[in-house]
Amino acid sequence: MVKHYDNSLRGYSFEIHKQDNFVCVYCGLDGKIWPNWLYLSSDHLLPKGYSGREKPKYIVTACVFCNVLHNKTVFDLENADGKLKSKTELIEQKKILVLERRNQYKEFWIKNVKSQNDEKKNRNSDMVTDKEIVEACMPILKNAQKEWGTVFLNAYQIWGILNNKENSFCKQMREAYGNEVGEGAGERVTPVVRISQALSRSKKIEHYYMDGMLTEFRIGDKDIKPAYIYDVFRLQADDKLGDKN
C-alpha cells in the first residue's frame, strides 16, 4: 500500500500561504490562480537547529523554484549588533539572490527554449506577409483612441475588430491560419499569434510587454476563453496623432 503524504494540503502550510495571500514572497507567483497554487511551498527563513525556526513568523510562502534555489546558501542571520534580522530583512536578503538566479534561468530559457519554439512557429508564418498584416492593423491602431479609449491594443482585440469589419483580409488570414484563437497558440500559429508576430517586428509599431493579465474577449459573436495577455501594441509616436502616414 502506497502511503500518501499530501504536502500542499498539510495543516500549517495552508495557514502560512493564507498569511502571505497565497503569493510567493520572492517572485510574486500568485497561487490564487490555478494551477500556480500547486507550486506553493513553505520556506523556513532560519536554518535547521536555529531556535525559533518552526515559529510561523519565520516560515513564508515560496514557490518551489524560489524555495529550493538557495538550499545550500548560508545567509547572514544576524545584524552587526548580533541580533536576529527581522523577517522582512531575512526575506529581502534572500530575494536579491533569488531574483538574480531567476533572471539567469530566464535568459537560458529565452535562448534555448523560447527561440526554438518561435523558429518552429515562423516556419509556416509567411502565408500572409508581415507587411500585409501591419497595413490591415494600422487603421485599427489609429482608431483605438476614438473607439476604445486607449492607445494600446493586443492582438486579440485587433483580431476581434478585424472580424467585426469582415473583409477579404480576414478571410485570407483564416484560410492561412485557421479559425481558432487563443487556445493552442503556443504550438501553432493562429491569426492572433500571426498578428502579434507581425506587429512586434514592425518599425511602425511600438511593442510593450506586460505581466500576464487574464483578460476576457469577444471576437465576432463568440466569447473567447479568458487568455493571458503579454504583448500590447500602439502606433509609433509620429503616427499616433493625425492621419499622416
| Site for Zn ion, rule CB under 5 A | 24, 26-27, 29, 63, 66
Measured from the CB atom, the residue of 24 and 158 that comes closer to Zn ion is 24
In the bound state with Zn ion, the residue whose beta carbon lies nearer, of 70 and 240, is: 70
Q: Which three cell numbers stand for residue 182?
A: 487563443
In whole angstroms, how close is the CB of 19 to Zn ion at the nearest point?
A: 16
Q: Tell the smallest beta-carbon distance from residue 57 to Zn ion (Å).
A: 20
Whether 84 and 78 have beta carbons less than 8 Å apart is answered as yes
Decide if 200 contacts 231 (C-beta within 8 A): yes
* 105 vs 113: CA distance, rounded Å: 11
Q: What is the closest distance, in whole angstroms, from the C-beta atom of residue 40 to Zn ion in the complex?
A: 9
Q: Which of residues 39 and 169 has its CB atom nearest to Zn ion in the complex?
A: 39
205 contact partners, CB below 8 Å, separation of at least 6:
134, 137, 141, 199, 233, 234, 235, 236
Between CA 80 and CA 85 the distance in angstroms is 10
Q: How far apart are the first and last CA of the chain?
A: 72
Which of 61, 196 has the CB closer to Zn ion?
61
Judged by CB, which is closer to Zn ion: 67, or 190? Answer: 67
The DSSP letter of residue 113 is: I
Q: How far is the CB of 132 from Zn ion (least distance, A)?
A: 42
Q: How far is the CB of 77 from Zn ion (least distance, A)?
A: 21
The residue (of 63 and 185) whose beta carbon lies closer to Zn ion is 63
To Zn ion, the closest distance from the beta carbon of 62 in angstroms equals 6
- What's the rounded Cα separation, in Å, for the pair 103 and 105? 5
Q: Nearer to Zn ion by C-beta: 20 or 89?
A: 20
- As a whole number of angstroms, the distance between CA 63 and CA 28 comes to 9
Min CB(25)–Zn ion separation in Å: 8
Decide if 236 contacts 206 (C-beta within 8 A): yes
Residue 28: count of CB within 10 angstroms of its CB: 10
Cross-strand pairs, 23: 30
Which residue, chain included where needed, has cell 503556443?
186
